[in-house]
Structure 1
Amino acid sequence: MSSSSFTSFYETWFEQLHNLVHQLSTCPRPPTTPDHHHHLLHVVQKVMSHYDEYYRVKALAAERDALAVFVAPWATTLERSLHWIAGWRPTTAFHLVYSESSIHFEAHIVDILRGFSTGDLGDLSPSQFRRVSELQCETVKEENAISEELSEWQEGASELMGACTNLDMKMGRLVTVLKKADNLRLRTVRKVVELLTPQQAVEFLIAAAELQFGVRGWGMNQDRQRGNV
């Protein structure tokens, strides 16, 4: 798959993400019946399958042209400035959990102080906070390890100029780094979703997508003003 083909795929995928977020937003919260609960699980799984598809197709594009994927021509200038190895930094997920938890907590602080359970991200249990913290530490270690692999690849850039026979091997190493980064991104979201209740997972996925929509929208406006699009 060429970079132009992936760009077309991404535009369609991004539009479908908007539709899925609308489905998330219209889910009954909190779920009051078994049917509501199953519906939340079903929509969450649809969103996760959508992310699976994105990274599957992106991996194919990377195998064809790793450098094109690395520079991410489908992204805005702002998005690329925020990238960590051709995508969002995995630990962003944890910052999002903490910020959304704080927002929901403040919105329902009176109910919480009265002992009422809200069931949302502002009502995370101590065990959930502990697991989020553990996952964050694990993810930071993996991020650092992958960053080190990329640094090693970049340090060998001078070899690319004088050893064309090794070019395929070096590009293969870059593909490996890209795939590891994307795998960590996807695994991080999956693990966060798994430790949340269905209602909390819906709220987390909505917040994550809205952040993505906001950054992309702002980036597109900035690029238009600069005449980049």
Structure 2
Amino acid sequence: MVYASPGTDASTDPDIDKNIRMTLRRLAQNREAARKSRLRKKAYVQQLEDSRMKLTQLEQELQRARQQGIIISTSGDQQRSTSENEALAFNMEYMRWLEEHNKQINELRSAVHTHAGDDDLQSIVSSVMAHHEEIFRIKGLAAKADALHVLSATWRTPLERCFLWLGGFRPSDLLKLLADQLEPLTEQQLASIYNQQQSSQQAEETLSQGMEIIQDSLAKTVASQLGRAGSSSPSNAADHTAAALGKIGDMESLLQQADDLRMQSLQKMQRVLTTRQSARALLLVSDYFSRLRALNSLWIARPQQ
């Protein structure tokens, strides 16, 4: 017969209890993580349902607006009414996008402050990035319908418009903001962001020059018809008008290239930064534009002398 000594029992019991406690703790942590995951999934499903309902309402309002535009329009005004309806639809779509964006940013901020795991944080970061891609897609469709409306950026506040470039932010400004405000960054990360900033500035300069060429050509086309109302033939006048409209249409291509550059800057930023740095970077960008909107509201509400 083999006997276990009392000393052996006394030395192994605490180890067994410790293992049990650790197992129970892991099980409790797993249950808590599963509970939070279910809550996030439930909130996400509800968010999708709310967005679907809002989108349905938007489509119904847009359909009514289009019907009213067709009813009240003459053949000469129908194109203008359609363009106005498309502009109205984009403005409403942007407001819907901004509302959803604010929800995602609040979720991201909460995850950063509560030190969520990298997997959960990456999931939220990916959702925010995909949401940015969505607004660029929507803007592209709006630019095809009315490039001038997208360039004017009337859906943004007046203060935001003071800082816009080709219907949006300058990628180089965004990269400079991150280099100045996002800490700590390694020397390699700073060098990569600096190189991206220089590359973005060169691309911005090229697109700006392209817009200047279009504007100069458009101005010359318009000026060429001054004082020739009685001397130009109807066909020549029609040709010049078509040429002028074509040059306005050329702006659509520049708008698309500018938005592509913006999206590429966000994507390159994400590749350079860690998951947590990417989360903080997205919060910085969102807070920057939120403060501009808040300042605009304060300006409007200021006491008048």
TM-score of the alignment, normalized to the shorter chain, above 0.5: yes
Structure 2 counterpart of 1:9: 93
Instruction: Name which of 112, 115, 127 aligns with 1:46.
Output: 127
Aligned to 2:276: 199
Aligned residues: 204
Aligned residue in 1 for 2:118: 37
Q: TM-score, normalised by structure 2?
A: 0.63
Q: Give the TM-score normalised by the residue count of structure 1.
A: 0.83
Equivalent residue letter for 1:84: W
Q: Kindly indicate whether the alpha-carbon contact (under 8 Å) linking 1:30 and 1:199 is maintained by their aligned counterparts in 2.
A: no
**1:46-85 equivalences in 2 (<5 Å):** 46-85=127-166
Q: Which residue of 2 aligns with 1:173?
A: 250
User: What's the offset of the Cα at 1:171?
Assistant: 2.4
Q: Describe how 1:1-229 pairs up with structure 2 within 5 A.
A: 2-28=86-112, 36-101=117-182, 122-161=183-222, 162=225, 163-223=240-300
Helix, strand or coil for the counterpart of 1:153? helix
Aligned CA-pair RMSD: 2.0
Report how far residue 226 of structure 1 moved.
Answer: 9.7
Q: Contact (CA 8 Å) 1:61, 1:69: kept in 2 or not? A: yes
Deviation at 1:159, TM superposition (A): 4.2
Q: CA deviation at 1:194?
A: 1.3
Higher alpha-carbon Rg: 2
Relative distance call for 1:31 and 1:77 in structure 2 (3 A) is closer
Q: Deviations over 1:178-220 (max 9, x none)?
A: 1111111111111111110000000000010011111112223
- The separation in 2 between residues aligned to 1:216 and 1:190, in whole angstroms, is 25
Shift of 1:93: 1.4
Match in the other structure for 2:82: none
Residue identity in the other structure for 2:216: E
- Where relative contact order (Cα < 8 A, 6+ residues apart) is larger, the structure is 1
Structure 1 runs of 4+ with >6 Å offset: none
**Any stretches of 5+ residues in structure 2 without a counterpart?**
1-84, 226-239
Q: Specify the alignment match of 2:71 in structure 1.
A: none
Distance (Å, rounded) in 1 between the aligned partners of 2:264 and 2:126:
14
Residue type of the alignment partner of 2:209:
E
